[in-house]
Structure 1
Amino acid sequence: MEYSPVSLLWLGLLLPAFLAFLLSRRKPTKLPPQPPAWPVIGNILDLWPAPHRNLHSFRAEHGPVTWLKLGSLNTMVIQSAQAAAEFFKGHDLAFADRKCPHALTALGYDQGSLAFGRYGSYWRVLRRLCSAELLVNKRINETAHLRQKCADSVIAYVEEEVAAKRATIEQGIDLSHFLFLLTFNVMGNMVLSRDLLDPQSKDGPEFFDAMNRVMEWAGKPNVSDFTPWLRWWDPQGIKAGMTKDMGRAMKIAEGFVKERLEERKLGGETRATKDFLDAMLDYEGDGKEGPPKISLQNVNVIILEMFFAGAESTSSTIEWMMAELLRQPESMKKAKDELDQVVGLNGKLEESGTEKMPFLQAVVKETLRLHPPVPLLLPRNTLKETNFMGFDIPKDTMVYVNAWGIGRDPDAWEDPLAFKPERFLGSNIDYKGQNFELIPFGSGRRMCVGLSLAHRVLHLALASLLYRFDWELGSGLTPETLDMRERSGITLRMLHPLKVIPKKRSA
């Protein structure tokens, strides 16, 4: 069919008018305020080198809910306690999905993950299993002796290190190394019924190194997260590096699982109580019949995830607690005096005793307020188009909740930048997901499943360190010169590991 020039002219005039008419009929979309953005890349450059700090700086001009365009990705940021309360209380289900970093799709990790898994029936089964078998209060109470053993072992390791470095002790020891060893072995005992890092360990050091590398890859800024058309290329090589190191860790986890399966096959169960691996294997299957089951591949993934989440974030928080107390000698003295009063000068420190230590508990809360282990929490994803606080939020919008910024919300906290544990004495504010000015573990459906365990480990570890040693800063540092800068990643560690001099306390 041929068109005359007149017909083509009318088509050229009417088509734009028709498109304009269709656009005018669309419901107008109201988005949150957005900082100026570059073409194509949007606000990506606004994130680094410290995304939590940079995003927090937008609040003064753009308000408590900020909109960003990160490459092709729509992104909303929650920046105040009031907005967080509305988000978690009124819209938790609409935002219950996850955005998974491209690096963590290596080896199908995201398909078995509880932390990064998509919201659905499999995720609900996994969440229920983790809550009931590993992290329910009854199980945590029954395993207090395991955490005590790990804490006592680390105290002994510190004493050995001091003795070995007596000539150079003024330079200090790397406290972060011992804290990671503590939390890593706590998870080893809870999940696998064994210490993984000790002089006799064979697989432990290799597992430890592989896990460290995986955390480094996961924390690297990755352009593939914001430009999906580049994922096949992996321009920074992050997924390739993750695949290699996660493969090492996965192989070791697979060895633990195979060993346990052989034990069970031979009827060689020797543990007085089931550990988490036993519970996972009780639920293992292909899921073709009945309710969803957990494949052996995903059992390996969950084992890795327990170590990722349980060891890294907890050890970094303990390090921040010690750093803050070393900067505030008066707070350090109050915590020690309380310990001596509750435990006695020659008593036996036990995990349950920390429940009688309100100042120690206040130190933990204040540290989590200023140094939440995952400053932007893990990113949520919008399941459907949602109206939030008067804004029209499209489906598949990524959502960051800036827990670091909310801990500094001037509308929620007096003198928010100061370390003052006393603010929590006599206060009912807690970090269990109902007080939205303090949400280091998140809230709602996707709240950190390990909160109860982390709570116990944080208090026991800090109490053990303070009760057994007097602490000074090493390398000639003073409270005024201690470097409190952060190293950004998924978790928020000190930029430079804390160097300290431990001196055994006399009776």
Structure 2
Amino acid sequence: MEPFIIFSIVASSLVLFTCWALITPKTRKNMPPGPPKLPIIGNIHQLEKQTPHRNLRNLARKYGPIMHLQLGQVSTVVISSPRLAHDILKIQDLSFADRPTATTPQIFFYNSTSIGWSCYGNYLREMKKIATLELFSTIKVRSFSYIRESELTRVFKFLDSCCGTVINFREMTVQMVNNIVSRATLGDVCKDREYLVDAAFFMLKTFSAFNLFNYYPRLDFLNVITGKKAQWLKMHNELDIILKKILEEHRSRQRSSQDHEDLVDVLIRVKDTGDLDFPITDDNIKAIILEMLMAGTSSSSMTIEWAFCEMMRNPKIMKKAQSEVRAVVKGKTITEADIQRMHYMKLVVKETMRLHCVPILLPRVNPKDCVVDGYDIPAKTTVLINAWACATDPDSWESPESFIPERFENSLISYSGTHFEFLPFGAGRRMCPGLNFGLATVEYAIASLLHRYDWKLPDGVKHHDMDMREITRISTLPIQPLQIVPISMAKPN
């Protein structure tokens, strides 16, 4: 960081700290416990950049499952147990349904009007209804099966050409999921698709990057001084021009049926019919498009990579999953009916999402004073749910950090957001509406790759020596991209 920026932050913070000390009334609220705080920075120094969810879990073991941190100017409460996650996401869900204000969602998502970042109210309720009934319904997700099949066929051609050699599994998977998500969102013909996908990855890095100014909202002017805001606005303007053109092209097309509507078609149709309780605008549609491209790619591709990492590390699990897939599939390609009969493969996916989910759910904020577990939570407190801590809670799981798909055998625990020890898609009013779409992509890809190829580690690498360390973006991913070798099999009957 430039010396001038450091000086500006420290100087401004000192002024603000002095003002707070002079004018802030000394209220004696019963706040949750937490680690000691330093002047100005509070607990920022205790956030470990690479795996913050693990560091927060370790702090919670010392200070409790509800813990208060002062992150610069931002008062933050961290929830680390299923019991208290149930309180926040179910019992008091409406009280904690808002999002904190942040600069990047304001810029990229058209004043934070994406589903993930919009404030709770009539607009969000309307968009969630559209997402549930139209965008990600079971019927709509099934209609995209031809896209999933054609993209896996493309992957097969690549793998057939390099069988017996080491491949970068992450690059292959990211490209495949990119294509599935972008084709489902924008349609098969979109010459700007590559630029939009690249922009989505830029946004993903921006949202997940450690930005000191997020903890000092009163110093947001420094984003202007450093040129970051100008960079973001320039990209937003470029994206807006492309998105306007995409909407115009979709409106000019004549569709005889809804069978192969992409998600842009759906949003335009729903908007233009006017049969909405709360009208939406073209800018709202653009925000949803960008959110789909960003979130839809990152979480699914990371889940597929982690599933193969865990199976390569546990050869017995790999063999069991692969044997089931090959026993179920009778033809050359995998059908939706086949997927539904792959019981153990689904357990592998579920266990992968338990251990390698989005580790910390998007932040929430309470507009009014609340009480949680006997502690006062003042209005406008940022609340973080450590979903990974809940998913590895020793009171809820046996051997919580071990990869054991069989733990879900005969278990009622599901993706529905009603089991707070398992929150890969969140829960409550802010639960991710893309559950069906994401699962369809992940399960089809994993089953297809298990069916068609055997897999081995590069020469000299033993399964017990695999590097399973992680690094956090919005989701977690292996610190090193998975390198494995596809082995050609006899062509399926």
TM-score, with length taken from structure 1: 0.86
> Do structure 1's residue 371 and structure 2's residue 350 form an aligned pair?
no
Q: Secondary structure of the equivalent of 2:151? A: helix
CA change 1:491–1:237 in 2 (3 A) is: farther
Partner of 1:300: 286
C-alpha distance in 1 between matches for 2:443 and 2:276: 42
> Do structure 1's residue 407 and structure 2's residue 391 form an aligned pair?
yes
C-alpha distance in 2 between matches for 1:326 and 1:239: 43
Partner of 1:76: 77
Q: Within 5 A, what are the aligned runs for 1:324-363? A: 324-344=310-330, 347-363=332-348
Q: Supply the AA of the counterpart residue of 1:29.
A: K
1:170-196 CA-to-partner distances (Å, cap 9, x unmatched) read: xx2111122122222222332233176
CA change 1:489–1:183 in 2 (3 A) is: same
Of stretches 241-250 and 447-456 in structure 1, the one that deviates more from structure 2 is 241-250
Partner of 2:466: 482
CA change 1:239–1:407 in 2 (3 A) is: farther
> Do structure 1's residue 145 and structure 2's residue 115 form an aligned pair?
no
Asked whether the equivalents of residues 487 and 495 of structure 1 are also in contact (C-alpha less than 8 Å), the reply is yes
Partner of 1:19: none
Partner of 1:254: 244
Give the CA deviation at 1:492: 1.6
C-alpha distance in 2 between matches for 1:108 and 1:359: 39
Asked whether the equivalents of residues 280 and 294 of structure 1 are also in contact (C-alpha less than 8 Å), the reply is no
C-alpha distance in 1 between matches for 2:429 and 2:222: 35
> Do structure 1's residue 128 and structure 2's residue 129 form an aligned pair?
yes
Of stretches 235-244 and 291-300 in structure 1, the one that deviates more from structure 2 is 235-244
C-alpha distance in 1 between matches for 2:389 and 2:287: 31
C-alpha distance in 1 between matches for 2:244 and 2:454: 42
C-alpha distance in 2 between matches for 1:337 and 1:108: 44
Asked whether the equivalents of residues 469 and 479 of structure 2 are also in contact (C-alpha less than 8 Å), the reply is yes
Give the CA deviation at 1:254: 3.0
Asked whether the equivalents of residues 99 and 381 of structure 1 are also in contact (C-alpha less than 8 Å), the reply is yes
Asked whether the equivalents of residues 148 and 350 of structure 1 are also in contact (C-alpha less than 8 Å), the reply is no
Asked whether the equivalents of residues 379 and 399 of structure 1 are also in contact (C-alpha less than 8 Å), the reply is yes
Q: Secondary structure of the equivalent of 1:392? A: strand
Give the CA deviation at 1:488: 1.7
Structure 1 unaligned residues grouped into runs of 5+: 1-22, 197-201
Q: Determine which of 196, 201, 216 is the counterpart of 1:212.
A: 201
Asked whether the equivalents of residues 108 and 287 of structure 2 are also in contact (C-alpha less than 8 Å), the reply is no
Partner of 1:380: 364
CA change 1:222–1:237 in 2 (3 A) is: farther
CA change 1:214–1:158 in 2 (3 A) is: farther
Asked whether the equivalents of residues 354 and 391 of structure 2 are also in contact (C-alpha less than 8 Å), the reply is yes
Asked whether the equivalents of residues 339 and 463 of structure 1 are also in contact (C-alpha less than 8 Å), the reply is yes
Q: Supply the AA of the counterpart residue of 1:193.
A: G
Q: Secondary structure of the equivalent of 1:35? A: coil
C-alpha distance in 1 between matches for 2:277 and 2:325: 49
Q: Secondary structure of the equivalent of 1:30? A: coil
Q: Supply the AA of the counterpart residue of 1:351.
A: E
Q: Secondary structure of the equivalent of 2:222? A: coil
C-alpha distance in 2 between matches for 1:477 and 1:195: 42
C-alpha distance in 2 between matches for 1:110 and 1:178: 34
C-alpha distance in 1 between matches for 2:83 and 2:68: 17
C-alpha distance in 1 between matches for 2:230 and 2:462: 42
CA RMSD between the two structures: 2.5
Give the CA deviation at 1:291: 4.2
Q: Within 5 A, what are the aligned runs for 1:70-219? A: 70-107=71-108, 109-160=110-161, 162=162, 169=165, 172-194=166-188, 202-219=191-208
C-alpha distance in 2 between matches for 1:291 and 1:118: 17
Q: Within 5 A, what are the aligned runs for 1:429-440? A: 429-440=413-424
| Percent of aligned pairs sharing the same letter | 34
Structure 2 unaligned residues grouped into runs of 5+: 1-24
Asked whether the equivalents of residues 415 and 423 of structure 2 are also in contact (C-alpha less than 8 Å), the reply is yes
> Do structure 1's residue 398 and structure 2's residue 393 form an aligned pair?
no
Asked whether the equivalents of residues 185 and 264 of structure 2 are also in contact (C-alpha less than 8 Å), the reply is yes
Count the aligned residue pairs: 466
C-alpha distance in 1 between matches for 2:322 and 2:276: 55
C-alpha distance in 1 between matches for 2:257 and 2:248: 16
Q: Within 5 A, what are the aligned runs for 1:405-484? A: 405-474=389-458, 476-484=460-468
Partner of 2:263: 276
1:258-317 CA-to-partner distances (Å, cap 9, x unmatched) read: 211232xxx4667644332122113447x9x98432222221111111111111111111
Give the CA deviation at 1:355: 1.6
C-alpha distance in 1 between matches for 2:111 and 2:246: 21
C-alpha distance in 2 between matches for 1:476 and 1:215: 35
Q: Secondary structure of the equivalent of 1:74? A: strand
Asked whether the equivalents of residues 250 and 304 of structure 1 are also in contact (C-alpha less than 8 Å), the reply is no
Partner of 2:15: none
C-alpha distance in 2 between matches for 1:30 and 1:450: 38
Partner of 1:12: none
Give the CA deviation at 1:326: 0.5
C-alpha distance in 1 between matches for 2:310 and 2:420: 23
Instruction: Give 1 or 2 for the bigger CA radius of gyration.
Output: 1
Q: Supply the AA of the counterpart residue of 1:406.
A: C
1:433-459 CA-to-partner distances (Å, cap 9, x unmatched) read: 011111011100000010111121111
1:483-503 CA-to-partner distances (Å, cap 9, x unmatched) read: 222222222222221111111
Q: Supply the AA of the counterpart residue of 1:324.
A: E
Q: Secondary structure of the equivalent of 2:376? A: strand
Asked whether the equivalents of residues 82 and 390 of structure 2 are also in contact (C-alpha less than 8 Å), the reply is yes
Q: Supply the AA of the counterpart residue of 1:309.
A: A
Q: Secondary structure of the equivalent of 2:29? A: coil
C-alpha distance in 1 between matches for 2:452 and 2:193: 27
